[in-house]
C-alpha cells in the first residue's frame, strides 16, 4: 500500500520588518525557531546550540544595532524564520548602494509554505524603497534548497570561498551571490 502525501494545511503567513524590541513571546518564538534551524544544520554560524540567554541577548542586540535590519516570517502568528540586512557603513560611499543579506532561515517545521520566498521578496521591496541597488549574500555549499531559491529569484553566483566555513572539523565551501534590485541606479 502506498501512502498518499499529506496536504499541508492552510496557514496564515506573514513577513514583517521589525522596528522595535520584540515582545517576550516573540523573542521566545524566535529563539525556538533559531534552535530548530541550528539543530537542522542551518544555524547561520552556530554549530552547537547556544544557551537561551545568549540567543536572547543576540536577538535583542540585532534589533538595536544601527547597521542591521531584522525581518521575521510568521506562521499563524508565530515567528518561524528571519533574515537580516547589513547596511553599508556611512563612510563607505563607494559601496553605499550595496547591502548584505545574512542569517536567512526558516525553521524546519515551517518549510514548504513559501515563506523563504516571501521573506526575500519583502526584503527586496524595502531595500529598493530605501534606495539601495544591490544585495550580496553567501550560502554554504550543500544547502540546495536555499541555493535553488536564490537562483530562481535572480541571484547571480559570482564566486566561491573554499575556506569559508568550518563545521565539526570539516571545511565547507560557500557560494557568493548578488542581485541588482535597482538597475536605474547604474544608468
Its pTM stands at 0.91
CA distances from 111 to 18, 33, 40, 108, 132 (A): 21, 11, 12, 5, 29
- In this prediction, residue 123 carries a pLDDT of 97
- In this prediction, residue 47 carries a pLDDT of 81
- In this prediction, residue 1 carries a pLDDT of 41
Q: What are phi and psi of 111, to 5 degrees?
A: -80, 155
Per-residue model confidence as pLDDT tens digits over 90-100: 999 999 999 99
Q: What is the mean pLDDT of residues 152-178?
A: 93
* Nearest 10 degrees: Cα torsion 63, 66, 68, 70: 30
Ordered by where they begin, the domains of the chain are: 13-182 (3.40.630.30)
Q: How far apart are CA 155 and CA 159, in angstroms?
A: 12
Per-residue model confidence as pLDDT tens digits over 10-47: 899 999 999 999 999 999 999 999 999 999 876 667 88
Q: How far apart are CA 93 and CA 4, in angstroms?
A: 56
Q: How far apart are CA 132 and CA 174, in angstroms?
A: 24
Buried b (16+ CB within 10 A) or exposed e, 24-41: eebbbbbbbbbbbbbeee
- In this prediction, residue 4 carries a pLDDT of 45
Q: What is the mean pLDDT of residues 56-84?
A: 96
- pLDDT at 2 exceeding the cut of 90: no
Give the sheet arrangement for strand 78-86, strand by strand.
Answer: 13-18, 68-75, 78-86, 98-106, 134-140, 170-180, 156-167
- In this prediction, residue 10 carries a pLDDT of 84
Amino acid at each position: 500500500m502506498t501512502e498518499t502525501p499529506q496536504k499541508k494545511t492552510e496557514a496564515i503567513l506573514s513577513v514583517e520588518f521589525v522596528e522595535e524590541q520584540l515582545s517576550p513571546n516573540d523573542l521566545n518564538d524566535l529563539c525556538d525557531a533559531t534552535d530548530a534551524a541550528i539543530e537542522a544544520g542551518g544555524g547561520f554560524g552556530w554549530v552547537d546550540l547556544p544557551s537561551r540567554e545568549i540567543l536572547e541577548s543576540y536577538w535583542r542586540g540585532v534589533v538595536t544595532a544601527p547597521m542591521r535590519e531584522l525581518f521575521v516570517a510568521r506562521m499563524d502568528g508565530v515567528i518561524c524564520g528571519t533574515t537580516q540586512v547589513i547596511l553599508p557603513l556611512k563612510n563607505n560611499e563607494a559601496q553605499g548602494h550595496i547591502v548584505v543579506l545574512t542569517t536567512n532561515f526558516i525553521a524546519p517545521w515551517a518549510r514548504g509554505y513559501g515563506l523563504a520566498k516571501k521573506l526575500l521578496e519583502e526584503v527586496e521591496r524595502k531595500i529598493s524603497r530605501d534606495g539601495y541597488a544591490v544585495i550580496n549574500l553567501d550560502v554554504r555549499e550543500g544547502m540546495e534548497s536555499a541555493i535553488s531559491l536564490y537562483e530562481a529569484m535572480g541571484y547571480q553566483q559570482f564566486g566561491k570561498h573554499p575556506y569559508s566555513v568550518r563545521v565539526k572539523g570539516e571545511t565547507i565551501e560557500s557560494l557568493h551571490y548578488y542581485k541588482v534590485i535597482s538597475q536605474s541606479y547604474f544608468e
